[in-house]
Homo-oligomer: A and B are copies of this chain.
Amino acid sequence: MSSRVTVALDAMGGDVGPDVVVPAALSALEQHDDLNIILVGDQAVLNPAINRYKAGGHGRLQVHHASQSVEMDEPPSHALRSKKDSSMRVAINLVSDGTADACVSAGNTGALMATARFVLKMLPGIDRPAICTALPSYSAHTWMLDLGANVDCDAEHLLQFAVMGSVLAGAVDNNEHPRIGLLNVGEEEIKGNEQVKQAGQLLSASHLNYQGYAEGDDIYKGNYDVIVCDGFVGNVSLKTSEGVARMIARFIHEEFSRNLLTRLAALVTMPVLKAFRKRIDPRRYNGATLLGLRGIVIKSHGGADALAFANAIKVAIVEVRESVPERISKQLDSYLQHRQAI
């Protein structure tokens, strides 16, 4: 028997706000009987949205008023200083005081990181949060971190990412020994930069199931469960992937729209194309975790629709059930002990 899970949603974040968050909340509530949701945001905006989606009076949905909201392009330091009653901040506060088990926001990533770090604090042994998500692979998926939180990382940071990624993959996928890869370049002359070489040594000496260097194409092959890199490289790699997938989708569309014959072919092929699109639908991979905090904070894509945002809520639920932060904390302890012993 699993106990109840309460998730606070920053209802004002993202490009759209309540018109994405409210229907996503309803869809998640329908799928999870043991889920409670707290919508955090401006009542004057939220209540009409709740009425629009006929969600008034839902027993497991409540509203928590917050008078401010963080802009998508607002500097994180400004949000931290002068938006103490923002929907984002209040949602994180609810996690901090134990009212909620996790929170989800589609808002400003920098502000979310800064606020979460300020309110929840980092786990002992972790310097900064890392952004982690699952990306599709041939076989299942590959967890990748950091995706943009830390642009300058030393070897020690990369090791912390590996510990956190290993715990997340272990917990969510029920995988006792996730295979860890360290992202590197494949050119023969110079295998990686200094940080990566040092991180490789730290990982080899660790208790993790470290498999060695991975290259960019390994992310999608499924031969690693977790791939670790600094946030600059990770962010570029993630955005590059989105760019390639979007270009290919556009080329397919263009080829099928070329003339009457190709349009007929598209009709015949519709079910196949639909199945294919579903497999690479980025919405199914929405919901990145801010790992390393004393609490669960999930970042949804800013442009997420209701289906994508509902997926981010699902990520939050899984992490609550699997006690991800507590498990990271334990693993870190065991790593530090292992390290002292050698």
Interface, chain A (partner B; CB < 8 A): 72-76, 108-111, 113-114, 136-138, 148-149, 151-152, 183, 185-190, 192-194, 215-221, 229, 231-233, 235-248, 250-252, 255-256, 258, 261-262, 264-266, 268-269, 271-273, 275-276, 279-280
Q: What separation, in Å, do the CA atoms of A173 and B97 have in the docked complex?
A: 60
| Residue in B closest to A248 when the chains form the complex, CB atoms | B248
A229 surroundings in chain B (CB, below 8 A) = 236
A109 & B151 in contact (Cβ 8 Å cutoff): no
Q: What separation, in Å, do the CA atoms of A60 and B188 have in the docked complex?
A: 34
Question: How many copies of the chain does the oligomer comprise?
Answer: 2
Residue of B192, B215, B265, B271 touching A239 (CB-CB under 8 A): B215
| Residue in B closest to A218 when the chains form the complex, CB atoms | B243
A73 & B237 in contact (Cβ 8 Å cutoff): no
| Residue in B closest to A249 when the chains form the complex, CB atoms | B248
A150 to chain B, nearest CB (A): 8
Can you list 10 residue pairs at the A/B interface with Cβ under 8 Å? A75-B188, A216-B240, A216-B242, A219-B243, A221-B247, A233-B236, A237-B240, A255-B272, A262-B272, A268-B269
B247 & A220 in contact (Cβ 8 Å cutoff): yes
A51 to chain B, nearest CB (A): 33
A242 surroundings in chain B (CB, below 8 A) = 216-217
Known A76-B189, A151-B192, A279-B251; contact A216-B243, beta-carbon cutoff 8 A: yes
Residue of B108, B136, B190, B245 touching A188 (CB-CB under 8 A): B108
| Residue in B closest to A75 when the chains form the complex, CB atoms | B188
